[in-house]
Amino acid sequence: MSGPGFGPGSPRSFRYSARGGGGDFDLESGVSRKARRPKTPHLEPSVAMRARHFYEAHPVAVAAALLSAGLAVLVLLSVHETRARAARPGGGAWAEEYPLPGLRNLVMVAGHSVYTSASCGGTDREESWFLEPYQRHPGQAATFVAHIKEGVDVAARDEGALLLFSGGETRKDAGPRSEAQSYWAIAESKGWFGNDGSVRSRALTEEHARDSFENLLFSVCRFRELTGRYPQNITVISYDFKEERFAQLHRTALGFPEGRFFFLGTPATPAAREAALKGEAAVRAQFLEDPYGCLGSLHVKRLKRDPFHRTIPYPDGCPELKSLFSYCGSVPFSGHLPWTE
């Protein structure tokens, strides 16, 4: 029996292993071919495997790192949301963030004294109030009560009005009681807010103002805090002899439209009227020279009317007025204001 041939007609070729083990030598073609290396699994661990091994070795450290990262993200989101919320104008989709988003008009009662009696039974008696020497006249207490009643009546006629009693803790000897809280408490004690509470729910206080200009400016800012917008109309209630000061000097300093500003005044007592008119003329002259009350005698008066060094929170609640709050000049503020749009 003969074996297979190795001639040219043979279907097979003889492979000769080349030296060095680098491949096979084909005798038929005379070509040396590289041998294919067998595939071997990748020995380098993947990133996922490394992370898994690290977690198994240090589970507490990994958990702490993840928790810290999560808290950092939450803090950043919270800060971003707070800043964005402060910059949003009122109304719209954000109205639910404010306690009284449906109100449009401001009724402001300017405070003039602090009620010091332990009960509300003698609101029309001078001894129940802390009075400055220039206020000690018969019937003076009744004028304060008249302002309170007028403010409640105006708000009752306008369901879209926010009633604000404005005035800070201005008298050291009266203790840490504000003019605004005094007025609100008297209205409450007399039942003027009504049985249905329709006025009471929108009668609040502004407790930082130290003079008439701050009564107006701070109340506008407080309105923004409570409603998310600025008032469409403003009604101020005070003594009738202060109409020019509020309706002309202070309104102009705020740049508020004249057609949307209203003033309701009640008279001073007959015994005090002459002195009141003289004193009012002097104060108007001071505000003519210093419309924002930030210089000279008006500024000194504000400092004296802050005996407990209360920190004024504004303009945090009305960021659109930040430039106005920081302005101190002898001519009206010329920057952008929300009600001039």
What is the distance between the alpha carbons of residues 141 and 131, in angstroms, rounded to a whole number? 9
What is the distance between the alpha carbons of residues 64 and 320, in angstroms, rounded to a whole number? 41
Q: Does residue 166 carry a pLDDT above 80?
A: yes
| pLDDT at position 170 | 97
Per-residue pLDDT tens over the stretch 206-235? 999 999 999 999 999 999 999 999 999 999
Per-residue pLDDT tens over the stretch 230-269? 999 999 999 999 999 999 999 999 999 999 999 999 999 9
Interior angle at CA 203, CA 199 and CA 209, nearest 5 = 160
Per-residue pLDDT tens over the stretch 288-303? 999 999 999 999 999 9
Which domains are present in the chain?
A: 103-340 (3.40.50.620)
Q: Does residue 5 carry a pLDDT above 50?
A: no
**Does the pTM exceed 0.85?**
no
Does residue 163 contact residue 202 with C-beta atoms inside 8 Å? yes
Per-residue pLDDT tens over the stretch 92-125? 444 458 999 999 999 999 999 999 998 888 899 9
Do the strands 15-17 and 23-26 form a parallel or antiparallel pair, or are they unpaired? antiparallel
What is the distance between the alpha carbons of residues 283 and 242, in angstroms, rounded to a whole number? 10
Mean pLDDT for the chain? Answer: 85
Per-residue pLDDT tens over the stretch 188-210? 999 999 877 789 999 999 999 99
Backbone angles phi, psi at 154, to 5 degrees: -65, -45
Nearest 10 degrees: CA dihedral of 208, 214, 216, 221?
-60
Q: Does residue 169 carry a pLDDT above 80?
A: yes
